[in-house]
Amino acid sequence: MNNLRLLTISIGTLITGVILYGITHHYIVFYFPSYKQHTPIRLIPPVKQKVTIFFPYKNSWGGETKEIPSLLSEENKIITLINLWLSLLQEDNLLPKKTFLQTALLDPAHQELFLSFDHNLFFKESNIYAKYLLVHSLCKTLQENNIQVSLIRFLVNHHPLKDFHLDFSKGWPLTEFSHISPNHSIHQPIPLTTLILNPVGDPYNVGRVINNAFERTISRLYAQTLKKELENQIPHIRVILTPFSADDNYQPLQNASFANCVQADWYISFHFFKEKDILPHWYLYYFMNNPLEDAISSKNNALQLTPYYQAHQKNLISSSSYAHTIYMHLNNHSLHTFYRLHPPQPLPFKPVIGITAPVLAFEIGLKETEDWKLFIQPVVDSIKSMV
């Protein structure tokens, strides 16, 4: 009996020793659940802000509201806005290729924005006004969403965007191109002695394709016919066509040099595109580089040396006056129901850069190749009324 009791005590002591050894050396761990209440962590949703993305729509602008994070830095906000703009244009098939933004950089003063895309933004056959609407829809998007820059440099693969009609060698102003106030009444005759007509195109550029013909060919036929009609009906003015040079003789700005040497009283350039609507569109343009700078410089008549890209400032007010005057005459013409005339639009219009004389450009939509003949008489009658 004593032996059994001693055995039981020994086994109990052994087990107790093993347990104590295990607890001491962390072989045995006891976990007791805690009944302390924990406050759950609440995730605060990111703050969003509404932005409006503008895009070309029916010869004007449309807008679509999107949401973006409100705590973005200025550069990240710019990148986000431009990517939304590109996505919207691609959805509406307003870009020739799927286009991505490569780089968006601000200058140190945060006044000029450099944007590089991987493809050109324009269809080759687009009319000039459609290009203007597309570019300015981006400017309008940035301006309306409080991006405080003055100019945008448009680049493709980090080089200036190349276009035959619009000049992107300098920064594009964020503000809309506004009109310069005309300096005379539409009933006041203009002093016109020498008129230069410029058919579009050069040896390296045949222009856009209109059915089975090139824009350069149609434009030259139009200018030659218009010259003949003007000389027959207004014999006291001299009408000159810009010279057409062979490949090896062509020089950039040669038309500007020619017009400035001749000391023309008015310079009119003619451009045509393939019309898709029922009524052909007729656009009027005159040259402007920067709305603010040009408005100030055009009032300065001091004698000074002028860079070629500022040559237009000398007669910018006259360009605006002549454009608005001929617009009124064309709009009141008996054939005005056969075309849709648009008010004059100032633009950095590349084909007339460097010309000091008052300038005007016509861009006319043609459904058929021979439709250019319909636009001869309205121009002849309008110029006749102006002089």
Q: What is the mean pLDDT of the chain?
A: 86
Q: Which of 336, 114, 127, 297 is nearest to 215 (CA)?
A: 127
Lowest mean pLDDT among 70-74, 80-84, 148-152, 160-164: 70-74
**Sorting pLDDT into bands at 50, 70 and 90, what band is 235?**
confident
**Sorting pLDDT into bands at 50, 70 and 90, what band is 19?**
confident
Q: Report the alpha-carbon distance of residue 30 to residue 35 in Å, rounded.
A: 16
pLDDT digits (tens, 9 = 90+) for 376-386: 999 999 999 88
Which tokens belong to 323?
């454009």
DSSP category for residue 368: S
Q: Interior CA angle at 100 toward 99 and 104, to 5°?
A: 135
Cα-based distances in Å from 354 to 50, 266, 291: 43, 14, 17
Can you state the percent helix, strand and coil of the chain, rounding each to 5?
35, 25, 40
DSSP category for residue 145: T
Q: Which of 3, 146, 163, 166 is nearest to 77 (CA)?
A: 146
Backbone angles phi, psi at 216, to 5 degrees: -60, -40
- Does 34 have pLDDT greater than 70? no
Could you tell me the domains of the chain? 48-173 (no CATH), 194-386 (3.40.630.40)
Which tokens belong to 294?
């040009």
- Does 9 have pLDDT greater than 50? yes
- Number of other CB atoms surrounding residue 332 within 10 Å: 12
If 0-12 CB within 10 Å is exposed, 13-18 middle and 19+ buried, where does residue 372 land? Answer: buried
